[in-house]
Structure 1
């Protein structure tokens, strides 16, 4: 498990006062030799434009490319750059969006938003939004809200686990995939210890930066990560086919450095 973590900023919007921002969208076909992205970036560099952000995805024999660019010191106009990009043999279509507000650019082309190589549609919420919504459930509904969050997490974890179970062969592989997907989806950083015996299964799960506690201010008297508890219970049920009790023993909302969960067979 690597300690290297590279921030992953999704290409949604960008604000930089004093800049002249634009978006370049390109659909290209696969060439006999690699180099589609290099050909486009070479034109951008020659135009003295800076690349602020890039999204590159594959769709069959096509490559979908989105770029946020800063053209404040450009030696050619955006339209001239566009014509040069369109002249590339591998480019099927291309457009440039110039924002009405030069220092603020919003992705005008990237839709639908997907994950898993385009097989699953996704939506983007900030952690602050979703954590605030979860907190509202508890504030307004009390224990009923906590139960609702647990069952919501359980169903999500169960479906999530079933979708990856057939891709792995061992429990170690399964738990490692789950750990990485938890991280890749922005839920938090996970470390776990497992103790598996013929008659019992126990897991200790430590989550750093758990998204669920983001909106909780001050010090809570009790753990608040009910959705995460349900998520863990559902993920384990999907693989082992058995029900687990999941208890949060430490919670960042209570002043602890991380959230810690203990899962054991019922």
Structure 2
């Protein structure tokens, strides 16, 4: 199973690692036809992914394979491009035998994205805490806006309702490496909790006397408020950095009269 976004092939060190980026017509059979083509050529696929998020009628098939040194890859690419379902083919050698599972530029939730280590994220927060007055309030506003923005994008991309909006968030958390979530929530009373297992913030912060996942609490508040169109506030009651088994974020209604736009402007005190 591929677990890293960037890895090195160690299967056959005497072979070349070759990548292909294929634009194709998105039909029921097209992916199978392309995969069969590589099998017929004796090219074993080491890693591949499909993407049709930008245009459902068109797809992108990115794959890494190994080929014996000296093999005529150009003629293989030309034959592949002549297939009826294929629009274009780009290919090249990975000189250092590196395999990457993301494309450039990377996009997450429809926007340009970059990958950073959890340590870098926590370093930024720590520096803000040390040098910026009222840093937690600033971190909260950032989290609120990020959470609300994520909710708006996902509402456009998926059929979201009161029953599945946190399930969708759970998939996002796992995909982004933030953690795994469990939740209990009453959408009518705006009460409940979200438990984050293996929070990247808590694990990277290490031991602490106070909860450290303020950004995540704010993200949850922005996301839930935007999804339900009702303003909630979220605070962390338990944190793995304090020795608790999970990080628990408690949901409650915002004070009477407070609207989502007030929260996003940082007016909720």
TM interval, shorter chain, is: 0.7 to 0.9
Structure 2 residue corresponding to 1:86, chosen from 75, 81, 84: 81
Aligned length in residues: 248
Root-mean-square deviation over aligned CA pairs: 3.1
Partner of 1:202: 191
Partner of 2:107: 114
Partner of 2:30: 36
Please say if 1:16 is aligned against 2:6.
Answer: no
Shift of 1:151: 1.2
Please say if 1:131 is aligned against 2:125.
Answer: no
Shift of 1:23: 0.7
Please say if 1:189 is aligned against 2:180.
Answer: yes
Shift of 1:223: 0.8
Q: Which moved more, 1:186-195 or 1:233-242?
A: 233-242
Shift of 1:37: 2.0
Structure 1: gaps (5+ residues): 1-5
1:129–1:238 distance in 2 versus 1, CA, 3 Å: same
Structure 1 residue corresponding to 2:57, chosen from 54, 61, 73: 61
Structure 2: gaps (5+ residues): 255-269
Q: Report the TM-score when normalising by structure 2.
A: 0.77
Q: Is the CA contact (8 Å cut-off) linking 1:43 and 1:85 kept in structure 2?
A: yes
Shift of 1:261: 1.0
Q: Is the CA contact (8 Å cut-off) linking 1:250 and 1:260 kept in structure 2?
A: yes
User: Which residues of 2 match residues 239-250 of structure 1 at below 5 A?
Assistant: 239-250=227-238
